[in-house]
Every structure is written in C-alpha cells, then in structure tokens.
Amino acid sequence: MKFTGVDDVLIKLESAHYIPSREIATVVFLADATSKPILVEGPAGVGKTELAKAVARSLGRELIRLQCYEGLDEAKALYEWEYAKQLLYTQMVKDKINDVIAGAETLAGAVDRIAAQEDAFFSERFIQPRPLLKAISSDKPPVLLIDEVDKSDPEFEAFLLELLSDFQVTIPELGTRKAVNIPFVVLTSNNYRDMSDALKRRCIHLYIDYPERELELRIVMLKNPGIHGRLAGQVVDMIRAIRNLDLKKKPCISEAIDWARSLISLRIEGITPEVVLQTLPMICKYRADSEKVKKSLDTLFSRV
Amino acid sequence: MVGLILNFVSACRASGLRVSTAEFLDCLAQLDLVDISDEVQFKTVLSSNFAKSRRDRCRFEQLYRLFFHELSQIPASSSPESMGGLIAELVEVLREGADGDVTYRAIIEFLSGNPLTFLAELKRIRTEEHPATQGGRFNLGPLASRLQVLVNLNRLRNMVAHFINANESRLGFDTGQNLALYFNASLDTAYTLLMNEPRPPGDDTREVTTYRQHYRRLGELPFSMLSQREVEEMREVIVELVRKLKDMATRRWASHSRSVLDVKKTLRRAQRYQGIPVEIVFRHHPPRKAKIIALCDVSSSVWSAARFMLNILYSLQECFTKVHSFIFVSGLAEVTAIFEAHEINLAIEKVLREAAIEYYAPTDYGETLRHFKRDFMDIPDKKTTLIIMGDARTNYFNPEDAILEELRERCRRVIWLNPEPETEWNTGDSEMLTYKPHCHEVRQCRNLNQLIDFIEDLIL
Ligand SMILES: Nc1ncnc2c1ncn2[C@@H]1O[C@H](COP(=O)(O)OP(=O)(O)O)[C@@H](O)[C@H]1O
Ligand SMILES: [Mg+2]
C-alpha cells in the first residue's frame, strides 16, 4: 500500500497515533512516491524515531531498525557468517569429509576436493542476516529505520550510501542480492556530526522543529485521552514558555506528554507556580535548568 | 515554472548553498507530485531538496522569503509611460551614476529584479578574511564592507527621490509616489538582507554540562587557581586516571567488536578438545582511528587548563591515530614534535619555553584561524576531531568565524572547551556565541571533573 497524497498521509499517520505537521506529511508522501530515503534532523524528542514507527504502522509494514553507534560495521549491520555453526557442522560431517578426500592422491588433490564442497558451508544456512540484509531480502517492502546515523563512522556512512543508491549488496560467497522491494528508509540524525554531501544528496531532508502550539496540544491530548482541555492547554503553554528560556536541554514533546500524564495521576487540575516547583524534575533534566526555571517563575506565569 | 525554480537555485548558489543539478531535477519532479497551490507543500519540496541541514535552513528561509514574497515583481514594460517602462527608465538613470563600485552595480542589478550579484556580494562580505596587514585587524573589516553597501543604498535612495522630484510634472503625483514606493521597498529589502545576515542559530550545538564528581576536592578546583603543590598532586591523579581510562577503553572495544573470527587461535584451542572448536575466539578490534587536532590558547588564564588537557591527550595517545597539537596567543605554533620527542611533563615545560609564541601579546583568535588555514589546512580530514581550548576572548579583533565554519566542513567534529564559567560567555570581548554555531559541541572545562567527563566522551 502506498500513500495517495499529502492528505492521505495526514489521516493515516494520525490514525497510527502520530500527528504530523503538513510539512512532515508532504515529505513522507514524497519519499513514498519517489522511493527516496528521508533524512530527519531535529532536537531530541520531537518525534524523529517515532515518525518511522508511525509510517510502518500506518502502512501495515514491518519496521526494521538499525541503531547506529561508533564502531558499527558492515558485519553488524548487514550479515555475519555463523562461524560457530559452521565449525560445528564440520565436526559433525567429519566422516563425510573423509569420504570426500578418499582416493585423493596428493595433499593438493585433497584440498581441491574439499574446496569443491565449500559452497555447502557458505550458504544461506550459515548466514545470519542483520537489519540491512533483512530489509533488502524482505518480500514485502519494510520500513527501514536507520536511527542516529550521525553516531556511525564515516566508513560506515560510505557503505550506507552505496546501499541506498542501488539497494543491492554483494556477498562474495553467495553473489549479489538486489532488493525485491525498495524499503521506505528513514535516517535520523541528532547533529552529532555532519553527514556527507553525498548522503544528503540521496535523501529528502526533513527538519522537525518543536511543534506549533496547536499541533503540540493535539499530541498531548492524543497521548493522554480524557485530559481536560484546559489543563492540556496550560501544560503546552508552560512547556512552550520554558522552551523559550535559554536552557541546556529544552523540554520536548515527550516531556509535555509525560508531565501532563503525571499531573493527571496527581489529580492536579490547574497549573500554579507551586505545581511547577513540585514537578520540576519532570520537565528539566539539569539542575542548572531547574534553577533557571525557578528564577523565571514570575515571568513564566505572567506570559502564560 | 522551470525558469522560476532555476532562478531560485541560482540565488541559493550565489548565497553559498550547495545545490546540485540532481537536486534541482529531483525538485522539479517532486513539484509535479504535490499541490503547489498549497504553499506548505510547495515550500517543503524546495526546502527538502535545497537545504539539507539545519544550518542551511536559515539561509534558505531568508532566500525563500526574498524570492517568493519580497522581491517586487516588476510590471511588464508595455509602454515607456507604463509603470514597467518608468522603472526601467529610472534604473537606467541610476546605472549612469555607477563609478566602478562593485556593490553599487550589484544593487542596481537587484533593483532591476536580479538579486544574484547582490547575494554573491553579501556572501563575499560574510566570508572574506581580513589579514592584519590590511589594517583590518580590529573587527572593522566586515563593518567597513557593510558600510560601503549602506552608503550606496542611501545614495540610491536620494537619487530616486531626486528623479521623482525633477520629473514631477511629467509623472504626476500618484505615479511618482508609486515609483518611490517600488524603489524604496526594494532598497529596504536589500538593507534587511545586509543587516540581518542569518547566522546559523547554533541551537543544534550541544552544550554539555555534567556534574559527575570523579574527584572531590581536587576535581572541583578551577585549574586557574591551583597552587604549585596542587599542580603536582594533579599530575599524580592524572597518571592514575589515564590508567583507568585506558582500561575502560580496551574493555569497551573488546566487547564492542566481537565480529571478526580469529581462525588461528580458534583452531589452536580446538586441539585441546580433539579438534572440536568449543571456544570461538574473536579478534579484538584495533583502537579507534580518530585523529585529534588540539588548538590551545596558552595566554595565562587558559594555559592552566590547556596543559592538563594536553597531558591527558598525550598520555592516551594510543587511543588515537595521531594527535596534532598547536598553541596560540597572537600567533600559532605547532608543538606536536615537542610532545613526540619528550616525556609529557617535560614537554609541557618545553612548550612554553621553546615554541615561537609571544606570550604577552593580546590573544588574537582571528589571526590564529587565518594562520591555521594558511599553513595547516591539509591536516584535518573526516576522521579528525578538532578540539579548541580557549576563552574566545578576542580582544575585539576580527573573530574570523567563517574560517571555523570552513574547518568544520573538513573535520568530523569540532568541540570547543571554554575554561570560563558559562555565565561569562559572550560578555565583553568573548565571541563564544559567534563561534558556537560552528561547533558540534561546546563545554565548560574549568576543572578536572569536567575535563574527565570530556575525555571519557572522547574515547569511549
Ligand atoms: N507528532 C507526534 N505525534 C505523536 N507523538 C509524538 C509526536 N512527536 C513526538 N511524539 C512523542 O514524543 C516521544 C519522543 O519522540 P522520539 O521519536 O523518541 O523523539 P526523537 O527520536 O526525535 O528524539 C515519542 O515517544 C512520541 O510519543
Ligand atoms: Mg530518536
């Protein structure tokens, strides 16, 4: 199934419990229509990872996730030979090997005969597919989430670029595998380092910023069904006001959602300075940030 | 449509956005797929193809506004007396006032509906360097170039008013007013472009602060306030610390990289069990191949912090492929060789005595960056982490932040360590907020605990 248009994306994502901006919906539609990967950037917690998951849910596709980190290599991302299994099998078929080399006149002859059987050990059976190979081999087009690609090494990025260009990989012992279906690819980045121009050129770029007020309100209400509209409004306004302070770690969407949730469970009906003080750890991760919020309480409340 | 988008791409390129032909074609193809009467969809197609990072986005926003909202659409010049005809006439009059001044001609082009030269001129002003020899040592270089544009804008404004006055009887009041309105609006737009250069917002630079207390008393003391005895004590602590860090690094790598089978060892061990490979042995990954370039401000206040950083970096040399180190005050000197030839503490003593540096000159970050660009630009590569340790106090010299931006494009990461408390960043002559947007990470680094946090992040 594909998206039929931008409005279709809006509707389908929302029914998958993700509320996109029109910009997000446009990019998702384009990526689906042109089979290009999306490169998503934005501050932590604005829904980059969640977007990929939501696309998978809304299209009813499998989500395959590759979490990137420094030192991630092809073996971890693509496939590995199962050495242990191979070795075990060699032991189990030891007698058979004797049969194979029986009658060989020279050592070289014996080796040749074994080599002729090599294929048996480098076959599907002994390969352990990792996310990228899984994504290519899948018979239904999956959603491939390559999360935090900025954490990976430049070598890995170059490898990824090749893969994203032709969606095929060559396994020396088995030959070339080409994707049956081109996966819907989402790469996310937190700007730990800059991605190469070449990779960026392959992708449609999406920058997700903190959402507009209305959008955030809808998200908070969606994730906290039954919340009173007035409380949700206060939560969003306060979070947005705090975001405007010069903080090290600004509260993101998930903080708004979680804060609203805990206020509900505390049976708090309206936000007062006391409530903010009591629940501050839910909003600010750093002590210095908490201090700033405390100092700015008056202005925060006059603005809201 | 194709022509319009092509013009916009030219404007993007003139302003320094790198848009490839492939991206232009992608954009055209995608415009066919969406409803371009919905501005969100139209703009999204453009931005997602032409501005592929947060940093490019701000420039894109400005250009988009200029191109699709502000740039006055020049009416067709159907007859000499139509608005279009009058505009063309006045542009010609203004053109005659040109005296070889590049910016003047760029503005005339801008007024006649072609912003490319003007945008390129702004880009030049933004990125040009101001070597000390050209009297541009103080932060006046860029200001002088801007001033030149301002003077021309004013001059043109006056010429327009003068033309309208002189031709009032021919034009009539209303037409004269409209003509003035048209030109003044365009000149205002040019003025705004000049004065509101979109700097990257820097909100994607990570500011790292940690509160982990690795060492209680010594860990919290500001480097700049250590007594001689505490400096000694610090060295001992660092020896112990380095051992711990190396241990952690090896262990981390060992567990991370069990990917390559060590055939030799596996077979050798298998012999113990009648050839059954009970134990599978994996090869350990070599240590990470990161290259480090450390640029250290060694003017008195910062040196105390820089020396400990250099100490730790060189003690951990085997975690990196190479550590290049430079020190600077008003000029720059490479000290890598000193560290490679001597024991660390001796090297640190020697650095200050032997490097060709004027310690008592005022620190000049701009000159440092210019010098680095001139002589060492071949060192950084995509595996390099550039670490700058300094208070960013430029003594009001030109900060040359465009060079730092250029460096960023060559490096893997740029990290700025500032030994001043954050509350003092950007007070007085500190250009910390000017440099910050070009860094991937900025950190306060004024005591051992903060330094340890940084080093742990670097090697683990
Ligand atoms: N547009 C949205 N609609 C619904 N929930 C959202 C949206 N954006 C963010 N969220 C919520 O915020 C949380 C954090 O999002 P996440 O994707 O983990 O952020 P990121 O990957 O950008 O750091 C998600 O678990 C999700 O519940
Ligand atoms: Mg995420």
Provide the pLDDT for residue A183. Answer: 95
Q: What does the pLDDT look like over B243-264, one tens digit per residue? A: 988 888 777 666 555 556 677 7
- Determine whether the interchain pair A200/B51 forms a contact, defined as Cβ–Cβ distance below 8 Å: no
Six token digits for residue B329 = 């005050």
**CB-count exposure of residue A151 (10 Å: 0-12, 13-18, 19+):** middle
Q: What does the pLDDT look like over B435-451, one tens digit per residue? A: 999 999 999 999 999 99
Q: What is the mean pLDDT of residues A50-78?
A: 93
Q: Is the pLDDT of residue A38 over 90?
A: yes
- CA-based nearest residue in chain B for residue A76: B259
Domains, chain B, in order of start with CATH, read 2-129+138-195 (no CATH), 223-257+288-459 (3.40.50.410)
For residues A129 and A79, the answer to whether their CB atoms sit within 8 Å is yes
- Cα–Cα distance, B131 to B118 (Å, whole number): 24
Q: What angle do CA B282, B288, B290 make, to 5 degrees?
A: 165
Per-position DSSP letters for B142-201, written without gaps between them = HHHHHHHHHHHHHHHHHHHHHHHHHTHHHH-HHHHHHHHHHHHHHHHHHHHHHH------
Q: What does the pLDDT look like over B111-134, one tens digit per residue? A: 888 899 999 999 888 888 776 654
Confidence of residue B136 (pLDDT cuts 50, 70, 90): very low
Question: Could you identify the atom of ligand 1 that is nearest to the CA of residue A147?
Answer: 21
Residue B447's nearest CA partner among B208, B244, B213, B239 is B213
- Cα–Cα distance, B336 to B322 (Å, whole number): 10
Residue A242's nearest CA partner among A304, A174, A150, A187 is A304
Averaged pLDDT of chain B: 86
The H or E element that residue B385 is part of is: strand B384-389
Q: What is the mean pLDDT of residues B240-244?
A: 89
State what percent of residues in chain A have pLDDT above 90. 63
Confidence of residue B224 (pLDDT cuts 50, 70, 90): confident
Provide the pLDDT for residue B187. Answer: 92
- CA-based nearest residue in chain B for residue A152: B412
Residue A5: list chain B partners with CB under 8 A. 35
Residue A246's nearest CA partner among A190, A292, A211, A294 is A292
Residue B417's nearest CA partner among B383, B394, B451 is B451
Question: Could you identify the atom of ligand 1 that is nearest to the CA of residue A222?
Answer: 4
Provide the pLDDT for residue B284. Answer: 59
- Cα–Cα distance, A232 to A237 (Å, whole number): 9
- Cα–Cα distance, B42 to B64 (Å, whole number): 11
Which residues 6+ apart lie within 8 Å of B167 measured at CB?
A: B176
Query: Three-state DSSP class for A209?
Result: coil
Residue B26: list chain A partners with CB under 8 A. 34, 36, 204
Longest dimension (CA), chain B: 112
State what percent of residues in chain B have pLDDT above 70. 90
> In this complex, which of B206, B259, B276 lies closest to A75 when CB atoms are compared?
B259
Q: What is the mean pLDDT of residues B142-154?
A: 86
Sign of the torsion angle spanned by Cα atoms A274, A275, A279, A283: negative
Q: What is the mean pLDDT of residues B59-76?
A: 81
The identity of residue A271, as a single letter, is: I
Q: Is the pLDDT of residue B411 over 90?
A: yes
Confidence of residue A87 (pLDDT cuts 50, 70, 90): confident
The H or E element that residue A79 is part of is: strand A79-81
* Residue B27 CA, ligand 2 centroid: distance in Å: 28
Provide the pLDDT for residue B268. Answer: 74
Confidence of residue B102 (pLDDT cuts 50, 70, 90): confident
Question: What is the pairing mode between strands A143-147 and A184-189?
Answer: parallel
Q: Is the pLDDT of residue B135 over 50?
A: no
DSSP state of A212: P
Six token digits for residue A49 = 């990872």
- Determine whether the interchain pair A30/B45 forms a contact, defined as Cβ–Cβ distance below 8 Å: yes
Q: What does the pLDDT look like over A218-229, one tens digit per residue? A: 999 999 998 999
Q: Taking CB atoms and an 8 Å cut-off, how many pairs form between chains A and B?
A: 114
Distance of CA A66 to the CA centre of its chain: 7
Q: Which residue has the higher pLDDT, A88 or B65?
A: B65
Provide the pLDDT for residue B137. Answer: 55
Touching check for B37 and chain A: CB below 8 Å? Answer: no
Confidence of residue B138 (pLDDT cuts 50, 70, 90): low
Provide the pLDDT for residue A164. Answer: 92
Residue A23: list chain B partners with CB under 8 A. 40, 43-44
Per-position DSSP letters for B224-284, written without gaps between them = GG--HHHHHHHHHHHHHHHHHHHHHHHHHHHHHTTTEE-HHHHHHHHGGGTT---S--EEP
- Cα–Cα distance, B180 to B294 (Å, whole number): 56
- CA-based nearest residue in chain B for residue A74: B259
Six token digits for residue A258 = 């979680």
Question: Could you identify the atom of ligand 1 that is nearest to the CA of residue A50?
Answer: 17
* Residues 241-300 (B) with a CB less than 8 A from some CB of A: 253, 256-257, 259-261, 266, 270, 275-277, 280, 285, 288
- Determine whether the interchain pair A75/B41 forms a contact, defined as Cβ–Cβ distance below 8 Å: no
The ligand 1 site (C-beta within 6 Å) comprises: A 18-20, 42, 44-50, 188, 219, 223, 253-254, 257
State what percent of residues in chain A have pLDDT above 70. 98
> In this complex, which of A33, A75, A201 lies closest to B33 when CB atoms are compared?
A33
* Residue A21 CA, ligand 2 centroid: distance in Å: 18
Provide the pLDDT for residue B386. Answer: 96
Whole-model pTM? 0.84
For residues B387 and B294, the answer to whether their CB atoms sit within 8 Å is yes
With b meaning 16 or more CB within 10 Å and e meaning fewer, what string describes B113-141? ebbbbbbbbbbebbeebbebeeebbebeb
Least confident of A149-153, A233-237, B39-43: A149-153
Touching check for B18 and chain A: CB below 8 Å? Answer: yes
Residue A129's nearest CA partner among A188, A64, A183, A70 is A64
- Nearest ligand, measured from the Cα of A41: 1
Query: Three-state DSSP class for A156?
Result: helix
- Determine whether the interchain pair B280/A83 forms a contact, defined as Cβ–Cβ distance below 8 Å: yes
DSSP state of A122: S
Residue B277: list chain A partners with CB under 8 A. 84, 87-88, 91
Maximum mean pLDDT: which of B80-94, B191-205, B307-321: B307-321
